[in-house]
Amino acid sequence: MDHLEIKENAVYTPKETEAILKVSNSTMKRMLKAGLIRANKVGGQYRILGKEILHLVSPSLEQSAVKSYLKIKKKVIDKINPW
């Protein structure tokens, strides 16, 4: 089985995204229409950022990033408040 690295800032077509996610064309269309995966239209065709694919396949990764951000934010606020 081929190993495919999803690059966060790369731009993918729906066809490429289908292959990465191993879903059918109709499933991809439903996901786009339902907003399960965010995409931008460029010249009438959808383009999907790698980070959107990563979020879909690994939401826990995003959750841990959010937790880290909130922890840092709290430290900053705690330091600023005494001023």
> Which CATH number goes with the domain that contains 28?
1.10.1660
Residue 5 falls inside a structural domain? no
Angle between helices 25-34 and 14-21 (to 10 degrees): 110
Residue 4 falls inside a structural domain? no
Residue 6 falls inside a structural domain? no
What pLDDT, on a 0 to 100 scale, did the predictor assign at position 66? 65
Tokens representing 13?
């077509």
Backbone angles phi, psi at 33, to 5 degrees: -65, -40
Q: Which pLDDT tens digit goes with each residue over 10-69?
A: 999 999 999 999 999 999 999 898 888 899 999 999 999 999 998 888 766 556 656 766
Residue 3 falls inside a structural domain? no
What pLDDT, on a 0 to 100 scale, did the predictor assign at position 1? 39
Tokens representing 56?
């879909």
Residue in the structure block whose two tokens are 């190993």: 3
What pLDDT, on a 0 to 100 scale, did the predictor assign at position 19? 92
Residue 17 falls inside a structural domain? yes
Has residue 70 got a pLDDT over 80? no
